[in-house]
Amino acid sequence: MNIEQIYTGCLAQGAYYVTSNGEAFIVDPLREVQPYLDRLAKDNVKLKYIFETHFHADFVSGHVDLSKKTGAKIVYGPNAACEFDCISAKDNEEFKIGDLTIKVLHTPGHTMESSTFLLKDPNGKDHAIFSGDTLFLGDVGRPDLAQKAANLTQDELAGMLYDSLMTKIMPLADDVTVYPAHGAGSACGKNMMKETVDSLGNQKKVNYALNQPNKEAFIREVTDGLLTPPAYFGMNVAMNKKGYASIDTVMGNGMRALNPAEFEVAAEQTGAIILDTRDADVFAKDFVPQAINIGLNGDFAPWVGALIVDVNQPILLVTEAGKEQDAVTRLARVGFDNQIGFLAGGIDAWKAAGKETDQVVRISPAQFEAQVKIGESKVIDIRKESEYAASHIDQAYSKPLAYLNDWIKDINPNEHFFMHCAGGYRSMIAASMLQARGYRNFSEISGGFNQISKTTALPVTDFICQSKVM
C-alpha cells in the first residue's frame, strides 16, 4: 500500500494517489490529468476508481477527463446527481482496490452528497480517512455553500454536519490518519491549520469544531464569521456536476501564441479581459492598456475567481516568458476555459511593435509618509477585515479587495486617495482594475502595510473607522 498526497499550494488543495497490488485509486484529482496518467504508467498500475468527496466549488476536478482516458469509474456519495456516468454510492458501501477496501461514510453538511472515504488496510483495520470538506485540520467545511441546492438554511446544514461528525467520524480510532481536501488559505474554511496531514486523535483534541459542548454551540461557532464565497464557486459546482470541455482543448486554445497585432485585434473583437500575470512591481512600470494584473506568484487562481465573476469571459494572457502554460493551467483549474491566446514575446514584443503602454503611480512608503496628511488625506486599506482590525493606519478606510466590485461605485473620481494592502500584491490588483475602469486618482504604495509600519513613523491603530463615505 502506498498513499501519496499531491498538494497544490495555490489552491490549498490535496489530491490523493493510492496504489495496492497493481491497482490504484485517486481522490479529488485536479483538472490537469496528464501527471496522474504519467504516474500510473510509471508504477505500472491500473486506475480502478476516482473518488470524489463532493461536488467541489473552489476548483474543477479532473474526474471526467481522467475517467475517459483510463476507464476508471467515478464514485460519489449518496445524493450525487451527475450528468455523466458515475456511481452514487450507498452509505457504508465498500469498494475493493488491490488488497485495500474503501468504505463510504455519508457525511452531509458541507453539501448534501459530501462523503468521507474510510480506507481499510489489507487486514481490515481502519487506516485513514479522506475527509474532503467535511473535516479539515483545525476546522470543518463551511455549511453555507449548498443552501440553495439543498433548500436548507446554513444553520440546518451546520446541524447536519454536526451529526455527521459525531456519528461517523468521532467514533473512529485515534490512530486513523486524516487526509483533508484543503489546508490553510482555502476559502472553504476559516480556521485551517498549516499542516496538511494529522491523526484523528490530535484533531479530537485541537479542532475547535470537534470540541463544542452541544449541537447549538457547534452551529453558532461554525457559522460565525463566514465570508461571502467567491462568485465563481457556483459555476465550478455546475461544471463538476455537468462535465466540461476536455483539458486538452482548453490548453490548446490558451496556448495559442498571438503577435502584438493579432493580440490587439483579438482584444477588440472579443471584448476579452487582458490578464497580466507578471509580478506587481514589473507590471506597474509598463503594461498593455486596460490589462488587469493578478500575479502568478501569489493566490492567482482564487483571486481570478473572486474578481472576474464570469468563468465564460474571454481571456487573453500576458506573462513572463515560459510562464504561459502555468497560467493557462491554473486558470483552467478554476473553470476559466474561454482562454483565447497569449501575447507572444510578452510586453517587450508589444513595445517593440510600437504599441502604447500604461503605468500605475506606485510610491514608496517614504514617499507616502511625506505626502499623506493623516485626517485629511484619504487612505484605503484593501486587506481583509481581520487584518485591518488588528492594526491599520490611523483614519484609514477598510475596503477589502474581495469586495472591490461593490465599493468601486463609491469612489469619487475627482478626489485623490492612497491605497495599500499588506505587501503590494493585492493593491496592484486593485490598482489595475481601477485604471481599467477609468479611475486614475490614486497612488498605490509598494510594500504595503508591512513596510509602512516598519519604515515610517505614521500612526497606526486598531480603532475602526466606521464611515462608509468614500
Burial class (CB in 10 A: 0-12, 13-18, 19+), 83: exposed
Kindly list the structural domains of the chain, giving each domain's residue range(s) and its CATH number in brackets, ordered by start. 2-234 (3.60.15.10), 246-352 (3.40.250.10), 362-461 (3.40.250.10)
Share of the chain above pLDDT 90, in %: 89
Cell numbers representing residue 35 in the block: 501527471
Q: Is 370 exposed, middle or buried (0-12, 13-18, 19+ CB in 10 A)?
A: exposed
**Average pLDDT taken over every residue of the chain:** 95
pLDDT of residue 417: 97
Residue 338 cell numbers, joined: 474561454
- Rounded to 5°, the CA angle 61-65-71 comes to 120
Rounded Cα–Cα distance for residues 62 and 17 (Å):
13
Q: What is the rounded CA–CA span in Å between residue 131 and residue 102?
A: 12
Q: Is the pLDDT of residue 466 over 80?
A: no
Give the C-alpha separation, 381 to 228, whole Å.
19
Q: Report the pLDDT value the prediction gives residue 465, as an integer from 0 to 100.
A: 61
Question: Which pLDDT tens digit goes with each residue over 124-181?
Answer: 999 999 999 999 999 999 999 888 888 999 999 999 999 999 999 999 999 999 999 9
- Where does the pLDDT of residue 467 fall: very low under 50, low under 70, confident under 90, or very high at 90 and above? very low
DSSP code of residue 85: S
How far is the C-alpha of 36 from the C-alpha of 67, rounded, in Å?
Answer: 11
Place of cell 471584448: 271
Average pLDDT on 295-301 reads 92
Place of cell 449548498: 146
pLDDT for position 469: 44
Average pLDDT over residues 293-315: 92
DSSP 8-state class, residue 60: -
Residue 185: predicted pLDDT: 84
- Reading phi first (left if > 0) and then psi (alpha if -120 to 50, else beta), residue 44 is in left
Q: Contact, 78 vs 92, CB < 8 A?
A: no
Q: What is the pTM of this model?
A: 0.90
